[in-house]
Amino acid sequence: MSPVAECLKQILEREPGIDHAKIEEIIIQASVLMSTMGDLSWPFTGIAELTRTRNHVALNFYIPYNVAVMLIDKKFTPEQLTLERIR
């Protein structure tokens, strides 16, 4: 689990009633390394690329996906990395 997902997990444990549909903006402060990894993983996170490669590793580093999955599913497990879930 990425540091961003871990942070959201802790927030959701304290505030389980957070409704992702009501969130208008999220600001994340990340290290240069984390930001760079997210930027480098981005080209490999599109559904066409994920279908072609059948490799979800890039999503582990892609901050927007980590945030979305944690807020919507309230967890980040291998289940969130299946093609069916990603679609």
Residue 53 lies inside a defined structural domain of this protein:
yes
The pLDDT value recorded for residue 8 is 92
Asked if the structure places residue 86 within a domain, the reply is no
Residue 68 lies in a domain: yes
* 85 occurs within a structural domain: no
Residue 84: the pLDDT is 87
Q: Is 54 left (phi over 0), alpha (psi -120 to 50) or beta?
A: left
Block means of pLDDT (10 residues each) for the chain, 87 residues, are 88 93 92 91 92 89 92 93 87
The number of residues making up the chain comes to 87
**Domain carrying residue 35:** 3-17+30-77
Predicted confidence at residue 86, as pLDDT, reads 87
**Model pTM score:** 0.84
**pLDDT attached to residue 32:** 93
On whether the CB atoms of residues 54 and 86 are closer than 8 A, the answer is: no
What is d(CA 28, CA 61) in angstroms, rounded to the nearest whole number?
A: 14
User: How many separate domains does the chain show?
Assistant: 1
